């Protein structure tokens, strides 16, 4: 009898795959109970797996409902196998060509911001991004936009957990997040990751929720454009994606 050359299944991997598949069946997401029912697994096991998948970015959780998270898109983008129809590279190219600034598309994975596409970054910035592709949310303008638009309770819990030993920094960050939500844009120094840069970043909405941010960034000295010019260019380019109640279904599958 010929040897079976097929790759063997692994029970835990099969269960994770089934869980991720179930999470795609309803745009609103599924509860833990619904996920357990969908894959015919004990609720306690599904809960542990779901929590781990949220922490890694494979799942996203809002109000007790679980949907596919951004990590799958990040891995696809970084591998060059891009089938995600969103604010695409052509639009980033156009922003870079118009402003001369680096243009980035940023998503949130857990407590981190991830640049899933970038155009026109300096060699140093591109190297830093390739060697450490997850950055703490407050460290860049795009990340602070994503933090600002997190639901209120998890946003405040995040700040309390991560900045509990620095009350002054905590208050300053909360004030900045309020200003970002009020104005719909982050403008100014890029952040502690690259203090030599200045940035403008805006949120991108889908079905009323922020799913990513787009940022323009340039050196704080010697840049060819003012922040006001970057702001105007970014606002124009993202007009169709910045309306909370609007249709941005072309942004993300």
Q: Tell me the average pLDDT across 105-129.
A: 80
pLDDT at 18 over 80: yes
Tokens representing 147 are: 């933090």
pLDDT at 248 over 60: no
223: Cα separation from own chain's centroid: 27
What's the whole-model pTM score? 0.68
pLDDT at 201: 97
pLDDT at 73: 77
Q: How many other C-beta atoms are found inside a 10 Å radius of the C-beta of residue 83?
A: 8
pLDDT at 166: 81
- Stretch (H or E) spanning 215: strand 209-219
E strands in 143-208: 186-189, 197-206
Contact (Cβ atoms closer than 8 angstroms) between residue 203 and residue 242: yes
pLDDT at 106 over 80: yes
Q: Which pLDDT band, with edges at 50, 70 and 90, does 159 fall under?
A: confident
pLDDT tens digits for 187-201?
999 988 788 899 999
Looking at every residue in the chain, the average pLDDT score rounds to 83
Q: Give the residue among 127, 144, 130 at the shortest CA–CA distance from 190.
A: 144
Contact (Cβ atoms closer than 8 angstroms) between residue 139 and residue 192: yes
Show the CA angle centred on residue 214, arms to residues 137 and 158, nearest 5°: 20
Residues 6+ apart with CB under 8 A from 246: 205, 240
């Amino acid at each position: 009898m010929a040897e079976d050359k097929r790759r063997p299944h692994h029970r835990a991997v099969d269960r994770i795959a089934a869980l991720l598949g179930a999470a795609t069946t309803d745009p609103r997401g599924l509860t833990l109970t619904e996920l357990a029912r969908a894959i015919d697994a004990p609720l306690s096991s599904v809960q542990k797996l779901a929590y781990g998948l949220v922490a890694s970015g494979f799942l996203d959780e809002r109000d007790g409902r679980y949907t596919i998270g951004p990590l799958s898109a990040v891995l696809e983008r970084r591998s060059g196998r891009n089938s995600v129809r969103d604010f695409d590279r052509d639009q980033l190219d156009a922003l870079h060509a118009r402003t001369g600034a680096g243009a980035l598309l940023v998503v949130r994975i857990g407590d981190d911001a991830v640049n899933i596409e970038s155009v026109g970054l300096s060699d140093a910035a591109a190297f830093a991004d390739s060697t450490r592709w997850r950055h703490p949310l407050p460290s860049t303008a795009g990340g602070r936009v994503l933090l600002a638009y997190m639901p209120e309770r998890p946003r405040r819990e995040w700040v309390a957990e991560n900045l509990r030993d620095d009350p002054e920094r905590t208050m300053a960050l909360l004030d900045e997040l309020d200003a970002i939500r009020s104005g719909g844009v982050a403008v100014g120094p890029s952040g502690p990751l690259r203090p030599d840069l200045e940035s403008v970043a805006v949120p991108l909405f889908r079905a009323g929720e922020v799913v990513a941010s787009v940022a323009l960034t340039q050196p704080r000295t010697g840049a060819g454009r003012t922040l006001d010019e970057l702001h105007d260019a970014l606002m124009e380019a993202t007009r169709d994606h910045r309306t909370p109640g609007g249709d941005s279904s072309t942004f993300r599958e």
